[in-house]
Structure 1
Amino acid sequence: MEIKLHDAELKVMDVIWSEGTVSAKHIYETLKERFGYSRSATYTLIKRCIDKGAIERIEPGFLCEALVQKEEAQELATRELINKLYDGSADKLVASILGKRDLPHEEIERLRKIVRDWEE
């Protein structure tokens, strides 16, 4: 099942993905520090993630555990980006990235390695 997460929901998920199972209070404190989110806004976002099935609420203590892996969310967001901005054509996305003349040599080499690994 694909779960579409919006930007603010992804910020909640990023806290969980980077730190593991954490309390809702910890998510609030982290998002307040990073982005100035209010307590009510943060808890609303957490509830939306729970309602979508992206987070499991564990009691006692209102702990939040990710039910969606970061890679799954990235894959869905990438497909949506390709469909929305590149007419569903991944090669247009890659051409756009490669057309950027100021890519560091290390990034170009990583891209070459990805293509070589994929071909094998």
Structure 2
Amino acid sequence: MELLWANEGATAKELALLAADRTGWNKNTTYTVIKKLVAKGAIERSEPNFVCRSLITREEVGRDEARKVLRSFFGGSVKMLFSSFMADGTLSAEETDELRKLIDEHGRKKR
């Protein structure tokens, strides 16, 4: 998807060439990935020349992946996720303050 987002509207052939340069994939591998992404509704491929366009944003993918990590490693608990970051010192004081502000804003919106 990163390749497509950076080259929105590229043809499947162009994406295959870019993927070969970037990852060493042969064109059939790229075409298979494109076909699977079309089937999942992540991209559309249109004629002529099999022009590819993304149907999902990087932000949507990020949210979906974050939810998967949350479920897989933290039992769906946001509290456990943040506790793990605080326990090992990953969060800076600035990030902690920013998170407090986000949580406060979210709380006000929920009321």
Q: Distance in 1 between matches of 2:69 and 2:85?
A: 13
SS at match of 1:22: coil
Aligned to 2:64: 76
Aligned to 2:98: 113
Q: Show structure 1 runs of 5+ residues with no match.
A: 1-12
So what's the TM-score if we normalise by structure 1? 0.75
Q: Distance in 2 between matches of 1:104 and 1:32?
A: 38
Deviation, 1:76, is 1.3
Q: Size of the alignment, in residue pairs?
A: 105
Are positions 1:62 and 2:53 aligned together?
Answer: no
Aligned to 2:7: 19
Q: Distance in 2 between matches of 1:68 and 1:51?
A: 13
Per-residue displacement from partner, 1:39-94 (whole Å, max 9, x unpaired)?
11110000000111111112112111011122111111111111111111112112
So what's the TM-score if we normalise by structure 2? 0.80
Q: Distance in 2 between matches of 1:111 and 1:15?
A: 33
Identity of aligned residues (%): 30
Q: Show structure 2 runs of 5+ residues with no match.
A: 106-111
The root-mean-square deviation of aligned C-alpha atoms, in Å, is 2.0
The one of 76, 81, 93 equivalent to 2:81 is: 93
The residue identity in structure 2 corresponding to 1:96 is S
Residues 1-16 of structure 1: pairs in structure 2 closer than 5 A: 13-16=1-4
